[in-house]
Structure 1
Amino acid sequence: MLTIVFFNLNTHAKVNSNKECALSDSLNSPVYFGDPFILLHNGTYYAYGTSNPNGIDVYTSDDLMNWKEPKQKMALKKGDVWGEKWFWAPEVHYYQGKFYMFYSAEEHICVAVADHPLGPFTQDIKKPMIANEKCIDNSLYVDNGKPYMLYDRFNDGLNVWIAELEPDLLSIKEGTEKPCIHVSQKWEEVWPRVNEGPFIIKHKKKYFMTYSGNSYESPFYGIGYATADQITGPWTKYAHNPILQKPKNLVGVGHSATFKDKEGNWRVVFHAHHSQTKIHPRIMYISTITFKKINNEEVMQIDSNYLTPRLLKN
């Protein structure tokens, strides 16, 4: 079967197909997720990612290393939500008794709701959050009880914006949209103009936004970060970005999300290319984030000694 990857320099279209679903002949396999996200809820880890052309899959784990496929592995299905294709970059948050999945479909940002992290995630009204503009990679951050959403716009290459959300998390408060970061450092200009996959955490009263630079198809895809004193900015990029690019034998490293493990340590999940010569199916990896004071500045660091999780065969 012939599968084709489409890449458009103007829209950075990340078109997934059956390539993300390749199976291993071995007893177990890596976790074939692009744009991965991990949620820890009630002692169980849930991983979501770009892989299934018909929706969003989920796997579970007790220890971050060994992952299992639940009886119903699709947390979100085409038909239950808006969109027919290109289900990308999911992340799931528990908020006021419900689970909210932020994701992209057909290059439009969407949100769906469920009562359980396994889903099913659905939309009562099937529509994207911004109907008249293509955007991707939406990410939630709740700051002192007020919800904000980061997302990528295509109006300057691909760049990161933030907006306040309505209390139900389903729509943007009009007039609150504001730019955060755009391509501005030399390492980001390999191919093409891309800042994407934003994710925010807070450390010692400062906001840290991780993001990815370059095309996901490039071996020079990497992770950098910016900081701010307020959630809405202004944001200042770390001068020595990237903090993760081509670790050991990996290439195409990026689209990360950060979470705390059961011991309270900061972890980061990201994907890399299948190999140094093949992009798909992309593979999920996990590492550790630490902070170190250098020249009176709190610096975020990602350990290059990453974990390669495995999917256990049923």
Structure 2
Amino acid sequence: MKHRLLLLLTVCLFSGIAYCQTDTLHAPPAVLPGFYADPHIAVFGKKFYLYPTTDGIAGWKSPSFTCWSSKDLVKWKYESVILDFPKDLTWAKEKAWAPAIAYKNGKYYYYFAAEGSIGVAVSDNPTGLFKDPLGKALVRKGMFRGQMIDPMVLVDDNGSAYLYFGQGNCNMVKLADDMISFDVKNVITIKPTGYNEGPFVFKRKGKYYLMWSEYDTRDPRYSVCYATSDSALGPFVNAMNNPVLKGMGVVKGAGHHSVVKIPGKDEWYIAYHRFKIPGGNGYHRETCISPMRFDKDGNILPVDVFEELKPVKVRHSD
């Protein structure tokens, strides 16, 4: 027995075999308690914020959104319900899905899916309360092909803001300066190879990264891929090493993500959901965070969903 153990340790030390490095039967814990999915992560001031879909309901029929905050990415504090459909909206009552937040003009703009349309709400604070400035959807159900869900907004270095959204196709458009309107004639629709839903765009070293989820969120193969461009509206070229986030072992259905950069550093983290461990499925998902890294050429390296998340402090804002 001792000889066998010694041989195994020797193999692990000198061969770099994956199973010696990663225990795929014991995943790190979720960062939020209970069922939450589609997390949008952001940093404002010296705090991190998470804006997820409330999960655990068949048909994803949650009627509200919550906000969570953290000083270190590891310990999260429940803030409050920040948008309650029956109380705060006149045009939708349920199916509160896949939110995203952006900051501009001294305001926080909260984009969300509701009953097959996309809305926007505004607040003076990242924890709300958020109010509906339009009294109607920003993107109506049926306005374009596919489902009008999964909004995301990138505010570029020059202050220009871009809206990305859609299931089945990825729609892109520059927002007006008010952040709550756009010219329908300027919408660009694309479908990268494998694209299903959950677009997320960020900018690093002058390059734009368009990421998305493949398959269906109820499918254990749910995963994340990406493409890059020199422009916020493309054209985007698919990466060669897709997918960069996927399940393995007890981790299933890893996808519908968002990305955050630590201010002042080239240090990145990816928030995503997976099937609840144990016994989860597409309606019982939990929120996780993992480090996300790049190679010397700017390619996103495969995310290790088993890597332990260590505390991170925000020293100053960009």
TM-score normalised according to structure 2 size = 0.77
Residue of structure 2 aligned with 1:290, choices 289, 293, 302: 293
User: Are the structure 2 counterparts of residues 301 and 120 from structure 1 closer, same or farther at C-alpha, using a change threshold of 3 Å?
Assistant: same
Partner of 2:154: 141
Residue of structure 2 aligned with 1:47, choices 47, 50, 73: 50
List per-residue Cα deviations over 1:80-134 (Å, max 9, x = no partner): 1241110011111221100110110001111110111111111133211122524
Give secondary structure in 2 for the equivalent of 1:291: coil
Partner of 1:237: 238
Residue of structure 1 aligned with 2:131, choices 97, 119, 122: 122
> Contact 1:285/1:307 (CA < 8 Å) preserved in 2?
no
How far off is 1:263 after superposition?
6.3
Partner of 2:179: 169
Larger helix fraction of residues: 2
Partner of 2:216: 215
Question: Separation in 2 of the partners of 1:69 and 1:290?
Answer: 28
Partner of 2:4: none
Unaligned runs of 5+ in 1: 1-27, 189-193, 310-314
> Contact 1:33/1:48 (CA < 8 Å) preserved in 2?
no
User: Are the structure 2 counterparts of residues 301 and 165 from structure 1 closer, same or farther at C-alpha, using a change threshold of 3 Å?
Assistant: same
Give secondary structure in 2 for the equivalent of 1:46: strand
Number of equivalenced pairs: 264
Question: Separation in 2 of the partners of 1:175 and 1:228?
Answer: 22
Partner of 2:76: 67
Unaligned runs of 5+ in 2: 1-30, 56-61, 311-318
Partner of 1:278: 280
List per-residue Cα deviations over 1:151-192 (Å, max 9, x = no partner): 115xxxx1211011111111122211112334x2xxx4xxxx
User: Are the structure 2 counterparts of residues 307 and 179 from structure 1 closer, same or farther at C-alpha, using a change threshold of 3 Å?
Assistant: farther
Q: Which amino acid aligns with 1:222?
A: S
How far off is 1:229 after superposition?
1.4
Give secondary structure in 2 for the equivalent of 1:93: strand
TM-score normalised according to structure 1 size = 0.78
> Contact 1:251/1:276 (CA < 8 Å) preserved in 2?
no
Partner of 2:315: none
Question: Separation in 1 of the partners of 2:308 and 2:148?
Answer: 31
Partner of 1:85: 94
- State yes or no: 1:303 paired with 2:306: no
Partner of 2:8: none
User: Are the structure 2 counterparts of residues 179 and 76 from structure 1 closer, same or farther at C-alpha, using a change threshold of 3 Å?
Assistant: same
How far off is 1:308 after superposition?
6.7
Question: Separation in 1 of the partners of 2:72 and 2:276?
Answer: 23
Larger strand fraction of residues: 1
